[in-house]
Amino acid sequence: MINHKKNWHQKHIETLSIGSRLADSVAKGMGSWRFIIVQTILVVVWMALNLVGFMYHWDVYPFILLNLLFSTQAAYAAPIIMMSQNRQNDRDRVQAQADYQTNIEAKLEIEALTIKLNKLEVEKLDVIITMLQEMKKNSAK
């Protein structure tokens, strides 16, 4: 059995409510080129159908119903996007804290390794000095 440890991002995703996930999806969708292109096509079709007159004019120029739809869309989109941005800020804070903690732990490990290496160097130098002194004594005899 393989034990997979979850990272902070996976744990965070699991704690999100359905509303939070929905807000993130809406913000992601509305912040895409696909949304802009589809919306632009729909607006052009809406205007064309109302200007040309092949169909019943449900929203004649100056397109008050279209403006109402845009206003309603903006009224809901802005708070939903802000909710998603607030969650992103929370995720960024958690990630920054995790990174900071990792950096502190790495610093402590590096300091401990440096102390060990210095100790080993001192011990090696002591052994070398002792050997040199013994060689000097032996050559003097």
Structure tokens at 130: 């002792």
Residue 90 lies in a domain: yes
Q: Residue 48 sits in which domain range? A: 19-140
Summarised one tens digit per residue, pLDDT across range 58-101 is: 887 788 999 999 999 999 999 988 988 888 898 899 889 989 99
Give residue 21's pLDDT.
Answer: 84
Domain count, the chain: 1
Residue 51 lies in a domain: yes
What value does the CA radius of gyration of the chain take, rounded to a whole number of Å? Answer: 34
Residue 2 lies in a domain: no
Cis amide bond preceding 79, omega within 30: no
Give residue 10's pLDDT.
Answer: 74
Whether 91 and 9 have beta carbons less than 8 Å apart is answered as yes
Residue 69 lies in a domain: yes
Residue 84 lies in a domain: yes
User: Which residues neighbour 49 within 8 Å (Cβ) at sequence distance 6 or greater?
Assistant: 55
Summarised one tens digit per residue, pLDDT across range 8-56 is: 667 777 778 888 888 888 888 888 999 999 999 999 998 888 887 766 7
Residue 10 lies in a domain: no
